[in-house]
Amino acid sequence: MLANLLVNGTIIKGLAPLLDGGGVVGGDQGQVNERVVTGSYAKSGNTLEFSDSVELGVGAGVSCNILPYVAGAINYTQMQGLETISGEFTGCTMAIYNYAGTSRVCHVDTAKTSEGDAPSKGTWEKIKKQSGFELADEVSTVGMLGRFLDSVDPDPSYARLSVLCVATPVVGISCVYVVKEGQDYRVVGRVKT
């Protein structure tokens, strides 16, 4: 399980550019969007290497969904039995839910606009009230960075601190604190939920 591989000191390569692929949805209207990368990861020592291809054969990676953050929107994907990793979280919400006969996972942008609350936050609340919607797990990352920083000794690298979340079918959502180092992440702690 991917979530179990993300322990302190793990270096995550290749994931940052895939998460950056979400882009901005114009107008900041809280749109529902589906931008996902079906990829894979492989472990070697304390390093996880992500790829945007699903490799088959000996030594191949494990298939997963990579769900980029999309500013001003709710980005989602159908889980299709795969773990889904998303980030960088600094206050957004991740959820696993059943809707229209499919299991889905989403990354809800909760950043406030210049005029008030995040439009996607309101859109998410409306979606949760629709007939046929069933919430399986939901994690808000609001305040997580502050709690971590309050619990550790100061470190200049924590200026690039964020959270990555992994949605695992049946199990739920787990989160880790990471520091971005160039195009790589280093796991510096596990979020206690």
- Write down the pLDDT at residue 35: 80
- Peptide bond connecting 134 to the previous residue in cis, omega within 30 degrees of 0: no
Q: Tens digit of pLDDT for each residue in 47-104?
A: 999 998 766 444 568 999 999 998 888 999 999 999 999 999 999 999 999 998 999 9
Which residues, at least 6 apart from 64, have a Cβ–Cβ distance to it below 8 Å?
A: 2, 38, 39, 40, 41, 82, 83, 84, 85
Structure-token match 């200049």, residue found: 156
Q: Tens digit of pLDDT for each residue in 26-55?
A: 555 667 878 888 889 999 999 999 998 766
Quick one: which of 159, 158, 168 has its CA closest to 188? Answer: 158
Q: Tens digit of pLDDT for each residue in 167-193?
A: 999 999 999 999 999 999 999 999 986
The number of distinct structural domains making up the chain is 1
Which residues, at least 6 apart from 162, have a Cβ–Cβ distance to it below 8 Å?
A: 87, 88, 89, 90, 145, 177, 178, 180
Judged by phi (left if over 0) then psi (alpha if -120 to 50, else beta), residue 102 lies in beta
- Write down the pLDDT at residue 58: 47
Domain housing 68: 2-190
User: What is d(CA 113, CA 13) in angstroms, rounded to the nearest whole number?
Assistant: 32
